Amino acid sequence: MMNAKESALGFALFGALCIAGVAQAAEVPVFTAARSVHMWHPAPAAEWVYGEVSVEKSVPGSYFMAIGFSTGYCGIQELFDGSKIAIFSVWDPGNPMDFSAKADSVDEKIRTKVAFAGEGVRIERFGGEGTGGKSTLPFDWKVGETYRFAVNVAKDGDRRTAYTGYVFRDGAWFKIATFSTLAAKGEASVSNVYSFVEDFRRNAKSAGQVRRATFRNFFCKGKAAGAEWKAMEAGRFTADNNPRTAIDAEAVENGFALTTGGDTKNTHIKVQSDAFSKVGPCPEQCLMLP
């Protein structure tokens, strides 16, 4: 039988081992999602932006955003059941990083309004990442195929701005939707353009699955009379605050590729680094825009 001193030492040793075990366990974090990765396309404020996305690896719960901008975004998604859609959304005024925001808690006076919806397009409000208006369209996209998107902006009276999202399908441009939102000081431009790959399943297993897409042929056109399409060749690689390191970005012909999840290694462009990819000539589909 241990005496009091030996018991105290035993309990102390046991406690130290428990603390060490907890510390060791803490060094092996469990990630619920693959890290979101972005490629920014620095450019002057524009009236039109055109860009292309080609998915190379996808799993259910994936979003490949072709064109994001300061007020909204558009691209393609693979939903939880494997069905696929095109999406175009525009935010209400407010904080887009407010993950507790409720779609219907916003005063009607400052909500994003629907000005147009294409045939077969579903319109609804969204919350959980700020709030705003969302349009979705069944769109059976395929891995390895290239899909083209465009965003146009125009003033809508003195205080609002109208954003229109387009997707190229069946040999012509399809107008998905137009949303009108309150503008800052009457601003009417597409700015802060970027692309991303996101895991929105976030069920732990999804962090180990690879998602990869290339984003090519980004062009913008200003509002001045006679303005021409200008190639967007610069890039900057960023990621969200998820500490998972299984991400990568690289320059490819006419654009950039983004990869996240699985055993991906950051062997090309480092996070928070600038990049460059020669882009051109302007695609025929871009020149076909109205």
Please tell me the predicted confidence (pLDDT) of residue 5.
43
The H-assigned helical ranges of the chain are 4-26, 284-287
Closest CA to 250 of 233, 224, 268: 268
Domain boundaries, the chain: 37-287
| All residues at 6 or more sequence positions from 99 whose CB lies less than 8 Å from its CB, including other chains | 128, 129
Closest CA to 121 of 181, 174, 54: 174
Percent of the chain with pLDDT over 90: 81
Please tell me the predicted confidence (pLDDT) of residue 22.
39
Please tell me the predicted confidence (pLDDT) of residue 186.
56
Task: Name the CATH architecture for the domain at 37-287.
Answer: Sandwich (2.60)
Q: What is the rounded radius of gyration, in angstroms, for the C-alpha atoms of the chain?
A: 23
pLDDT tens figures, 66-86: 999 999 999 999 999 999 999
Q: Which helix (H) or strand (E) holds 217?
A: strand 211-221
In the three-class reduction of DSSP (H, G, I as helix; E, B as strand; rest coil), residue 6 is classed as helix
- Give the global pTM: 0.88
Q: Which two tokens stand for residue 72?
A: 């909204």
Q: Cα separation of 245 and 145, whole Å?
A: 28
Residue 275 burial (CB count, 10 A): 18
Q: Which two tokens stand for residue 231?
A: 């190639």
| Per-residue model confidence as pLDDT tens for the chain (290 residues) | 444 444 444 434 334 434 444 333 344 456 799 999 999 999 888 999 999 999 999 999 999 999 999 999 999 999 999 999 999 999 999 888 898 999 999 999 999 999 999 999 999 999 999 999 999 999 999 999 999 999 999 999 888 999 999 999 999 999 999 999 998 765 788 999 999 999 999 999 999 999 999 999 999 999 887 899 999 999 999 999 999 999 999 999 999 999 999 999 999 999 999 999 999 999 999 999 98
